[in-house]
Amino acid sequence: MKEIPPFLLKGGCLLLCAGAGLPTTTHGYTPESPYLQEPADILPFLEESTAFWLAAWDANDAAFYSDVSADGSPRGSAKAFLAQTRNAYAMSKAFMVTGEADYLGYADGALRYMYDFGWDEQNGGWWGQANSNGTINTGIWYNNDRWSFWQHYMLLGPSALVEATADGFHADWLAQGNAINDEELWDDRPGYEGYFSNAALDWSWKSGKGFTPTVDAVTTSALTNYLMTRDPLRLERLRDLGDNIVYMVEGDHGHVVSFPSDYDNDWQVNANSTNTSIGHHIKTAWCLARVFLMEPDPVYRDAAEKLMDEAWNHEGPDGLGIWDKENGIMRGTVNIFDGKVSGVADWWSVEQAVTGGLMNWYVSRKPEYLQMADEASVFSCRIIMTTTTGKCTRRWPTTAS
């Protein structure tokens, strides 16, 4: 194992090292996943995953292609900003695990590409997509308005790289992104606080509240903003978001399971908000657990456990449960008003089950939460993860088809 960079020992590893103090006993459940039994054994998979995306690196633009083949080679010329910020996050975390400084160059380049082409200099805020030459086409839906998804996720990469390196240039961009969200996307009306879902390109109108502007804010930057700065205002914002989530979960919205995902400006449920993604359901639970760890008010823990218990125990009127006990994985969506469950899990929701299960097991020590994380990890190992050097068997083609 390579020597850990000194600054990581001084508090830089804010999220990655959160599990370092986990107890050795699992309180009634023994994981079967090789990666939960020996977490260090996932390192080969991590290195292969980063190598996969490095095959999509364009050295001329210093950015990642976003459409790739099964072997990672580029398909077309698109370099989506979402790919830049997410890969910058991944490369920053790979550096934090391995100490390989080369990863930082890729993170830095991807973010500089995003800063150069993705920021609206006239109005402030992030564009959703650029043409292959970096020009912006406002005729495509990505750029029709300021969707909160873009405004939050463009901060994911800068947040991770600042966490890893404390680089002032990227810290300034993170602060700029935070400022526009605080000034333009946040509704500060007493009793209606929260991030809006959408806004005009010039910020002249704003509309909607709900899952995306709230929970994605926690995962992308709100948590790390506070952890890196310990600024009381950042803790207040994190708690505001936690309170919004508790309202979604515990509010009297007429739902029998999960929570409504979409609301109007005044936090009234939109009539068409009948289904919630089960991946979002479990993601919300782990975000609540993280808020609880920062601000130990039991309302956050209790709402998280309510969601996790529903994920594990709920069975719809047709006999399908949120958690597929036979295959060890969640299903796709749940109707929040009649409880019907449908669909199947996909790659990102499987990841949320691992994170949600581990985080809430850490808080509660309920063995079923660890079992959820373990079953999702085993499922990933069997079906999704592809590695030649780790403990999982490669499942997909190794060349483009």
Q: What is the DSSP string of 69-134?
A: -TTS-B-SS---HHHHHHHHHHHHHHHHHH--THHHHHHHHHHHHHHHHHB-TTT-SB-S---TTS
Q: What is the average pLDDT across 70-90?
A: 93
What is the pLDDT, as a whole number, of residue 156? 98
Angle between helices 168-180 and 102-118 (to 10 degrees): 40
Measured CA to CA, the distance from residue 291 to residue 306 in angstroms comes to 15
Structure letter (DSSP) for residue 296: -
Number of domains in the chain: 1
Q: 201 versus 129: which is more confidently predicted?
A: 201
Q: Which of 2-11, 71-80, 208-217, 302-311 has the lowest mean pLDDT?
A: 2-11
Q: What pLDDT is stored for residue 387 in this prediction? A: 56
Question: 307, 249 in Cβ contact below 8 A?
Answer: yes
Does any domain span residue 120? yes
Looking at the predicted structure, is the pLDDT value of residue 140 above 90?
no
* Residue 109 resides in a domain: yes
- Domain extent for 51: 1-12+39-165
Q: What is the pTM of this model?
A: 0.90
Query: How many whole angstroms separate alpha carbon 104 and alpha carbon 128?
Result: 24
Instruction: Return the structure tokens found at 219.
Output: 């995962």
Q: What is the mean pLDDT of residues 302-306?
A: 98
- The neighbouring-strand residues paired with 323 are 330
Report the C-alpha gap between 88 and 117 in whole angstroms.
Answer: 16
In a domain, 59, yes or no: yes
* Average pLDDT of the segment spanning 377-387: 75
Phi, psi (deg, nearest 5) at residue 91: -70, -35
Region 289-296: mean pLDDT is: 97
Q: CA nearest 202: which of 126, 123, 136?
A: 123
What is the rounded CA–CA span in Å between residue 274 and residue 335?
A: 6
Question: Is residue 258 assigned to a domain?
Answer: no
In a domain, 359, yes or no: no
Decide if 61 is inside a domain: yes
Structure tokens at 376: 């999702």
| CA distance readout (Å), 108 to 91, 113, 115, 161 | 9, 9, 10, 8
3-class secondary-structure state, position 248? helix
DSSP assignment letter at 269: B
* Per-residue confidence band for 386, with pLDDT thresholds at 50, 70 and 90: low
Q: Residue 23 above 90 pLDDT? A: no
Determine whether 63 is exposed, middle or buried from the number of CB atoms within 10 Å of its CB (0-12, 13-18, 19+). Answer: buried
Q: Predicted confidence band at 388 (pLDDT cuts at 50, 70, 90)? A: low
Distance CA 58, CA 25 (A): 46
Query: Which is it for strands 262-263 and 209-210: parallel, antiparallel or unpaired?
Result: antiparallel
* Phi, psi at 4, each rounded to 5°: -75, 130
CB 218 within 8 A of CB 237: no
Q: What pLDDT is recorded for position 28? A: 83
- Using a 10 angstrom Cβ sphere, with 0-12 exposed, 13-18 middle and 19 or more buried, the burial of residue 10 is exposed
Q: Measured at the alpha carbon of residue 92, what is the angle toward residues 89 and 98, in degrees to the nearest 5?
A: 135
- The token pair that represents 21 in the structure block: 């103090």
The answer to whether residue 393 is domain-embedded is no
* Sign of the dihedral through C-alpha 181, 16, 229, 102: negative
